[in-house]
Amino acid sequence: MEIFADEASIEVYSGNGGKGAVSFRREKYIAKGGPDGGDGGKGGNLIFKVDKSVKTLAYLRQKKLFKAPNGQPGMGRRRHGLDGEDLIISVPPGTVIRDFETRQILKDLSIESEFVFLQGGKGGKGNYHFKSSVKQAPVYAQPGIPGQYAKIRVEINIIADVGFVGFPNAGKSSLLNNLTNANPEIASYPFTTKSPNLGVLKSSAGDIVLADIPGIMEGASHGTGLGIRFLKHISRTKVLAFLIDLSDENFLDSFKILMGELSEFSKELVDRPRVIIGSKIDCDDGVDKFEQLKAKLPSEQIFPLSNYTMEGLDDIILAFVKKVHE
């Protein structure tokens, strides 16, 4: 089983510049050879680039240290040292780079898909640059400029189209299982899902990526249960799907509590396009409770669902397609 590697701490270096050469012409017919030490090559840049075929940060986790090659030293006869090649680190879409210590976001690859993260050091000038009327034979050349270093934390913010939000046991993973070929674990105890599951819903209007995240409970924004750290995974989804378990005795308050926790995480999530799903409509008095929920939230779009009888699935698919492409 592949572990979803959604973060990695790595150390990165750009290449050092090569040093300039100290050299003097030695040719038969030139009595006093002038300085001819060439310049050092530039160090390789360290570049990040988005590559859709890369799905995880597993490679970064494993390798840990990335160093672009150094520039070569200059040589006699004004020959330039070779530049170090750029080192390109390929990462999945949605990757962000944070400072390892402060956790501050340094770069966001959903905004820029390729950039030089660390510049390679410049090569030093060879001694032929330093000839002057008073200094005919300079024995000095510049050293190369050292490359740069950074310790960083690389993370993927999963970019799903629809994120499932609900209390533990609401039937989120069951819905993902019914709509996609993902195979999330489903069980009758809370917090079955401990890290996000992604699945792809194939629709005639194109693929829609669904994210099933761990259950959220009251107080999650203050750390209760698994907390809300997983909300970062759905913080960029286009649409939120709230699953309200109709067999839960507090089903009429669930939506308000969930919204409260979300807004603690990010005010912006409150205005995100959403649908509400009354799940487990097959439970006792399910249909009646569904009507109560609709009456309680008249301005919301609400759909019934049974993951057992498959009731409501078609309408939910249509709603996802419409909202995502709206």
Ligand X SMILES: Nc1nc2c(ncn2[C@@H]2O[C@H](COP(=O)(O)OP(=O)(O)OP(=O)(O)O)[C@@H](O)[C@H]2O)c(=O)[nH]1
Q: Which does 254 bind (CB under 5 to 8 A by kind): Mg ion, ligand X, none?
A: none
Residue closer to ligand X, measured from CB, 154 or 220: 220
Which helix (H) or strand (E) element contains residue 149? strand 149-156
Nearer to ligand X, 110 or 181 (CB): 181
Which residue do the tokens 């840990």 mark?
64
In the complex, minimum distance from the CB of residue 195 to ligand X, in angstroms, rounded to a whole number = 10
CB of 174 to ligand X, least distance (A): 3
Tokens standing for 314? 């078609």
Strands (E), 74-170: 87-91, 95-99, 105-108, 114-118, 149-156, 162-166
- Between CA 156 and CA 199 the distance in angstroms is 16
Residues 151-210 that bind Mg ion (CB under 5 A): 173, 192-193
Interface with Mg ion, residue 221, by CB under 5 A: no
Quick one: tokens of 169?
A: 């046991």
Q: In whole angstroms, what separates CA 45 from the centre of its chain?
A: 21
Q: State the nearest-atom distance from the C-beta of 157 to ligand X, in Å.
A: 21
Q: Which option in Mg ion, ligand X, none does residue 58 bind, with CB closer than 5 to 8 A by kind?
A: none
CA distance 37 to 25: 9
The distance of closest approach from Cβ of residue 279 to ligand X in the complex, given in angstroms and rounded to an integer, is 5
User: By C-beta, is 120 or 312 nearer to ligand X?
Assistant: 312
Q: Measured between alpha carbons, how far is 220 from 202 in angstroms, rounded to an integer?
A: 32
* Least distance from Mg ion to the Cβ atom of residue 206, Å: 26
Token pair in block for residue 67: 């160093």
Residue 297's binding partner among Mg ion, ligand X, none (Cβ under 5 to 8 angstroms by kind) is: none
Helix (H, G, I), strand (E, B) or coil at 284: coil
Size of the site for Mg ion (CB under 5 A): 3
Q: List residues binding ligand X (CB under 6 A).
A: 166, 168-174, 186-188, 190-193, 214-215, 279-280, 282-283, 306-308
Q: Which of 224, 156, 157 is nearest to 190 (CA)?
A: 224
**Footprint on this chain of Mg ion (rule: CB under 5 A):** 173, 192-193
